[in-house]
């Protein structure tokens, strides 16, 4: 690798670090060293003031200063969050202000004599991802510090972190003083990322790499160490990509490819190189770049991009472990039986390294539904609880954990009664799962002999396996945008085609209903800029799905070709999302038909038949069914979006999640009218929203006359059990009176009806 010339920031930091190196190596007392440090930094940045605050007993104490009154040292103290210094420490953020007093958090401390100074810049001193102090400079003239100076300060702050730790100046168990072990049972809530329950002992994914030395003795040696670590890391990633347990094709491959792309990212290695040029050791340089990434990540609002940044963080940790010779993640050291993995976040490749038989669950401090690691965990069948705040501090290695993603809850160090409750629930779940599995090959037939079509929702290649596992009748909704969401770049037509063909192959003669991409709005793709979709206030009602696809028709054409060619020689089922007016459906269908003609004109084999459907998710379309139904082969009601629009209640807002009931008269009356219109027109209609996956709601839908549901695979068992215990004719008889009377507690009414007739709705 050629050595890039050092940047201005690296040169500035190098000058300071060379001088700091001597101070650090000296035999003087820590306080004397700190006094020296503030002099050196102040001089190098020609700042009148340079101060160091350290966190002691939960407050930030002025430990050393050049420029402020010496009487204030060890006297001036600020709470976390108080004043500029407290704000920097609390938020682990950098501040750079030309007029300090103008900042809303500014707190004046007369004993320091700081009223002379206008400009202010401060950076957190970070250890184990928490601020243990603040390094700041002040200037008489009002000016903002430039980027080079801020970078130099950040680099110096790392060195200070080492000095402070070596001298034992701050409490290592920051802010706590008690260890997790001293604590009794704890219940931590989180976000369900992958459903399921697990019992096991806490294992930390990563024993922390403690950086011993931050200032390089010999920059060239450090550079070589990093080069060699990069080589080893890339070899590891290449090996993993080619050996991934999930075969060589598919979304997991896409995920790993993204990961690989980061591993080879020149920008990243250049930044590390630059940090080494500034005089840091290889470990400190990697950590320095990672810290910067973390700080940037905090400012990023885009969840998709944030997920990708986690991949980079994952790699950075790997690199750090290689360079420090601390190679053992919990995966490499070998898991004990029944482990629950704890991590801030995990990369997909890191998760794949674990022994699946021993790994029972995963708990993350971060994590999101669209993160790569979530997708991989789901394919591995491992429950994941995300967004569990501070779990790495509240749980200790080896603690007994009960993970219940259905709740979603984590219990650490449970009391005996807590364990008993959990075990009882687990036993019920396992028993029921066994019962459902036994029903796999039985038809979804009601007591009075009505055959209900029970299909599953899917979106990834491996989801097709759910068909065999559940015995479902087909895939009623294949969300094609998933492939777009897990890819680092726009999936080309060939890749789309391969996925669609594979899914149809695994489905055999069971139908697969492909939904054209529903992207845009909240499912934005980082690699695709869409005019009109940026900064939308209501993305769910925005420039998304078919609205966007009809305008960006190159995307839609490519998908149409991919679907048509993948379905060569068989029937293609395709439906369009978010149709709001009939002409949108017509336009989409036309586009497909033109692509079909194009293929035929070139002698390419297309599908034997195409069955077109629309999704009813926008209430306005229900008013236009007379114009639309005769053009449709089927209609699919997307109750997730439909109900949010009917009630004007954001489906992603947890506060509204419980407020309006799917079993409200308004929703059921609406669905009843739509179902009836379809019946009269002779158009098959089904429901593919989450509503159909809950036994009681599914029962209500059947009561309205629906005979087709497409639901999440885990719900097939419970819903089939409901169907097989239901006399649907009796229900259909009772329904009109309920809808006419429209009681507020319709749910309770139906529950007791089901209870009396022993319909399995639990």
Crossing angle of the two packed helices 282-299 and 266-277, in degrees rounded to 10: 120
463 binds ligand PEP (CB under 6 A): no
Q: Is residue 314 helix, strand or coil?
A: helix
As beta bridge partners, residue 513 has: 573
Crossing angle of the two packed helices 372-380 and 251-263, in degrees rounded to 10: 140
712 binds ligand PEP (CB under 6 A): no
- Binding segment for ligand PEP (CB under 6 A), chosen from 41-49, 483-491, 639-647, 658-666, is 639-647
Q: Applying CB under 6 A, which of residues 463, 518, 565, 697 lies at the interface with ligand PEP?
A: 518
CA atoms within 13 Å, Cβ hemisphere of 446: 21
Per CB under 6 A, contacts with ligand PEP among 402-441 are: none
Q: For the CB of residue 549, give the shortest distance to Mg ion in the complex, in Å.
A: 14
- Using an 8 Å Cβ cutoff, are 261 and 308 in contact? no
Residue with smaller CB distance to ligand PEP, 341 or 688: 688
Residue with smaller CB distance to ligand PEP, 67 or 638: 638
Q: Applying CB under 6 A, which of residues 476, 689, 713, 717 lies at the interface with ligand PEP?
A: 689
Binding mask 594-623 for Mg ion (x = CB under 5 A): -----------------------x------
- Using an 8 Å Cβ cutoff, are 527 and 490 in contact? yes
281 binds ligand PEP (CB under 6 A): no
CA atoms within 13 Å, Cβ hemisphere of 611: 15
CA atoms within 13 Å, Cβ hemisphere of 150: 16
477 binds ligand PEP (CB under 6 A): yes
Question: Which residue carries 């950590």 as its tokens?
Answer: 287
Q: How far apart, in Å, do the first and last CA atoms of the chain sit?
A: 63
Residue with smaller CB distance to Mg ion, 122 or 689: 689
The total of other beta-carbon atoms located within 10 Å of residue 242's CB is: 9
Length of the chain: 762
Name which of Mg ion, ligand PEP, none residue 746 binds, using a CB cut-off of 5 to 8 Å depending on partner kind.
none
Residue number of the CB atom closest to ligand PEP: 638
Name which of ligand PEP, Mg ion, none residue 646 binds, using a CB cut-off of 5 to 8 Å depending on partner kind.
none
For residue 762, which of 435, 442, 381 has the smallest C-alpha distance? 435
CA distances (Å), origin 307, targets 259, 298, 354: 11, 12, 21
Residue with smaller CB distance to ligand PEP, 383 or 689: 689
- Binding segment for Mg ion (CB under 5 A), chosen from 260-268, 371-379, 447-455, 639-647, is 639-647
Per CB under 6 A, contacts with ligand PEP among 23-52 are: none
The Cα–Cα gap between 650 and 667 comes to 15
Tokens of 678: 């379809």
- Binding segment for Mg ion (CB under 5 A), chosen from 33-41, 196-204, 495-503, 636-644, is 636-644
Q: Applying CB under 5 A, which of residues 463, 641, 690, 697 lies at the interface with Mg ion?
A: 641
Binding mask 380-409 for Mg ion (x = CB under 5 A): ------------------------------
- Using an 8 Å Cβ cutoff, are 387 and 366 in contact? yes
Phi, psi of 124 (to 5 degrees): -75, 145
- Binding segment for ligand PEP (CB under 6 A), chosen from 2-10, 78-86, 445-453, 635-643, is 635-643
Q: For the CB of residue 158, give the shortest distance to ligand PEP in the complex, in Å.
A: 45
Residue with smaller CB distance to ligand PEP, 241 or 516: 516
Residue with smaller CB distance to ligand PEP, 366 or 617: 617
Tokens of 378: 């789901």
308 binds ligand PEP (CB under 6 A): no
For residue 348, which of 204, 251, 218 has the smallest C-alpha distance? 251
639 binds ligand PEP (CB under 6 A): yes
Residue with smaller CB distance to Mg ion, 462 or 617: 617
Residue with smaller CB distance to ligand PEP, 313 or 641: 641
Tell me the number of residues near ligand PEP by CB under 6 A. 10
Q: For the CB of residue 649, give the shortest distance to ligand PEP in the complex, in Å.
A: 13
The Cα–Cα gap between 130 and 344 comes to 13
Crossing angle of the two packed helices 30-44 and 147-166, in degrees rounded to 10: 170
Q: For the CB of residue 500, give the shortest distance to ligand PEP in the complex, in Å.
A: 17
Q: For the CB of residue 671, give the shortest distance to ligand PEP in the complex, in Å.
A: 12
Residue with smaller CB distance to ligand PEP, 276 or 688: 688
CA distances (Å), origin 230, targets 73, 188, 234: 44, 38, 6
697 binds ligand PEP (CB under 6 A): no
As beta bridge partners, residue 634 has: 613
Name which of Mg ion, ligand PEP, none residue 639 binds, using a CB cut-off of 5 to 8 Å depending on partner kind.
ligand PEP
| Strand ranges across the sheet with 359-364 | 186-189, 409-412, 400-404, 197-204, 339-343, 359-364, 384-386, 191-194
Q: Applying CB under 5 A, which of residues 196, 367, 459, 638 lies at the interface with Mg ion?
A: 638
- Binding segment for ligand PEP (CB under 6 A), chosen from 126-134, 155-163, 341-349, 638-646, is 638-646
641 binds ligand PEP (CB under 6 A): yes
Q: For the CB of residue 142, give the shortest distance to ligand PEP in the complex, in Å.
A: 52
Q: Applying CB under 6 A, which of residues 479, 694, 708, 720 lies at the interface with ligand PEP?
A: 479
Q: For the CB of residue 638, give the shortest distance to Mg ion in the complex, in Å.
A: 4
Name which of ligand PEP, Mg ion, none residue 479 binds, using a CB cut-off of 5 to 8 Å depending on partner kind.
ligand PEP
Per CB under 6 A, contacts with ligand PEP among 580-619 are: 617
For residue 536, which of 245, 757, 312, 302 has the smallest C-alpha distance? 302
638 binds ligand PEP (CB under 6 A): yes
Residue with smaller CB distance to ligand PEP, 640 or 664: 640
In DSSP notation, 138-182 reads EESS--PPPHHHHHHHHHHHHHHHHHHHHTT-S-SSTTT-S-GGG
Q: Applying CB under 6 A, which of residues 70, 627, 640, 664 lies at the interface with ligand PEP?
A: 640
- Using an 8 Å Cβ cutoff, are 174 and 130 in contact? yes
- Using an 8 Å Cβ cutoff, are 706 and 675 in contact? yes
Q: For the CB of residue 431, give the shortest distance to ligand PEP in the complex, in Å.
A: 30
Name which of Mg ion, ligand PEP, none residue 627 binds, using a CB cut-off of 5 to 8 Å depending on partner kind.
none
Residue with smaller CB distance to Mg ion, 429 or 640: 640
3-state helix, strand, coil in the chain (%, to 5): 50, 15, 35
| Residues contacting 606, CB < 8 A, separation 6+ | 564, 565, 567, 568, 596, 599, 600
- Binding segment for ligand PEP (CB under 6 A), chosen from 303-311, 496-504, 636-644, 752-760, is 636-644
Q: For the CB of residue 487, give the shortest distance to Mg ion in the complex, in Å.
A: 21
Longest Cα pair distance anywhere in the chain, in angstroms? 92
- Using an 8 Å Cβ cutoff, are 712 and 693 in contact? yes
Residue with smaller CB distance to Mg ion, 522 or 661: 522
Per CB under 6 A, contacts with ligand PEP among 148-177 are: none
Q: For the CB of residue 588, give the shortest distance to Mg ion in the complex, in Å.
A: 15
The Cα–Cα gap between 185 and 402 comes to 11
Residue with smaller CB distance to Mg ion, 408 or 613: 613
Please name the helix (run of DSSP H) or strand (run of DSSP E) that holds residue 282, with its range, or none.
helix 282-299
- Using an 8 Å Cβ cutoff, are 410 and 360 in contact? no
For residue 385, which of 556, 529, 188 has the smallest C-alpha distance? 188
Chain residues in the site for Mg ion (CB under 5 A): 617, 638, 641
Chain residues in the site for ligand PEP (CB under 6 A): 477, 479, 518, 617, 638-641, 688-689
């Amino acid at each position: 690798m050629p050595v890039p010339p050092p940047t201005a920031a690296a040169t500035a930091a190098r000058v300071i670090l060379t001088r700091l190196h001597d101070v650090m190596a000296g035999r003087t007392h820590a306080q004397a060293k700190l006094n020296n440090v503030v002099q050196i930094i102040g001089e190098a940045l020609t700042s009148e003031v340079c101060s160091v605050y350290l966190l002691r007993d939960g407050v930030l104490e002025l430990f050393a200063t050049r420029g402020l009154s010496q009487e204030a040292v060890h006297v001036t103290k600020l709470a976390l969050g108080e004043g500029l210094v407290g704000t920097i420490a609390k938020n682990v953020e950098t501040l750079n202000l030309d007029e300090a007093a103008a900042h809303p958090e500014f707190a004046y401390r007369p004993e320091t004599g700081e009223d002379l100074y206008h400009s202010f810049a401060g950076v957190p001193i970070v250890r184990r991802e928490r601020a243990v102090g603040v390094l700041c400079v002040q200037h008489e003239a009002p000016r903002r510090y430039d980027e080079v100076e801020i970078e130099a300060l950040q680099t110096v702050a790392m060195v200070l972190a080492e000095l402070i730790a070596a001298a034992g100046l701050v409490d290592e168990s920051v802010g706590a003083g008690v260890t997790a072990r001293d604590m009794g049972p704890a219940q931590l809530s989180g976000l369900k990322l992958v459903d399921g329950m697990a019992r096991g002992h806490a294992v930390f994914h990563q024993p922390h790499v403690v950086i011993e030395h931050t200032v390089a003795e010999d920059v060239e040696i450090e550079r070589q160490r990093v080069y060699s670590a990069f080589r080893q890391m890339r070899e590891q990633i290449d090996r993993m990509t080619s050996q991934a347990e999930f075969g060589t094709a598919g979304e997991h491959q896409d995920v790993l490819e993204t990961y690989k792309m980061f591993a080879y990212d020149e920008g990243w290695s250049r930044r590390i190189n630059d940090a080494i040029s500034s005089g840091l050791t290889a470990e400190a340089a990697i950590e320095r770049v990672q810290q910067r990434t973390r700080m940037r990540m905090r400012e990023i609002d885009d969840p998709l991009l944030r997920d990708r940044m986690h991949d980079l963080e994952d790699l950075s940790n790997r690199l750090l472990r290689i360079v420090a010779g601390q190679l053992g993640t919990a995966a490499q050291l070998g898991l004990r039986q029944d482990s629950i993995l704890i991590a801030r976040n995990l990369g997909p490749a890191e998760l794949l390294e674990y022994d699946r038989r021993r790994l029972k669950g995963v708990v993350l401090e971060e994590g999101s539904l669209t993160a790569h690691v979530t997708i991989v965990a789901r394919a591995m069948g491992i429950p994941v609880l995300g967004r569990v705040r501070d779990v790495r501090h509240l749980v200790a290695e080896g603690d007994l954990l009960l993970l219940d993603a259905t709740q979603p809850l984590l219990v650490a160090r449970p009391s005996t009664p807590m364990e008993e409750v959990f075990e009882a629930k687990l036993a019920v779940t396992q028993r029921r799962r066994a019962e459902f599995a036994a029903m796999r090959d039985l038809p979804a037939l009601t007591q009075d002999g009505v055959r209900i079509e029970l299909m599953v929702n899917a979106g990834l290649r491996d989801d097709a396996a759910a068909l065999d596992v559940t015995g479902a009748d087909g895939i009623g909704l294949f969300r094609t945008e998933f492939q777009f969401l897990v890819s680092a770049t726009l999936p080309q037509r060939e890749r789309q085609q391969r996925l669609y063909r594979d899914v149809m192959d695994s489905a055999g003669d069971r139908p697969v209903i492909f939904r054209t991409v529903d992207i845009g709005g909240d499912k934005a793709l980082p690699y695709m800029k869409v005019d009109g979709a940026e900064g939308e206030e209501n993305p769910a009602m925005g420039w998304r799905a078919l609205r966007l696809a009809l305008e960006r028709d190159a995307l839609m054409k490519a998908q149409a070709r991919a679907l048509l060619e993948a379905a060569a020689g068989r029937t293609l089922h395709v439906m369009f999302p978010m149709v709001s007016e009939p002409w949108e459906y017509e336009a989409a269908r036309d586009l497909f038909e033109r692509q079909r003609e194009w293929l035929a004109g070139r002698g390419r084999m297309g599908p034997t038949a195409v069955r077109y459907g629309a999704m009813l998710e926008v209430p306005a379309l229900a008013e236009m069914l007379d114009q639309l139904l005769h053009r449709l082969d089927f209609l699919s009601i997307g109750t997730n979006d439909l109900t949010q629009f009917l009630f004007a209640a954001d489906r992603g807002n947890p506060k509204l999640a419980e407020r309006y009931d799917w079993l409200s008269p308004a929703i059921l009356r609406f669905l009843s009218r739509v179902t009836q219109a379809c019946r009269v027109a002779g158009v098959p209609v089904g429901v593919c929203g989450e509503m159909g996956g809950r036994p009681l709601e599914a029962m209500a839908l059947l009561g309205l006359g629906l005979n087709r549901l497409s639901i999440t695979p885990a719900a097939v068992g419970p819903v089939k059990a409901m169907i097989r215990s239901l006399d649907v004719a009796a229900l259909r008889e009772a329904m009109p009176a309920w809808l006419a009377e429209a009681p507020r507690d319709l749910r309770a009414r139906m529950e007791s009806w089901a209870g009396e007739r022993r319909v399995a709705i639990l």
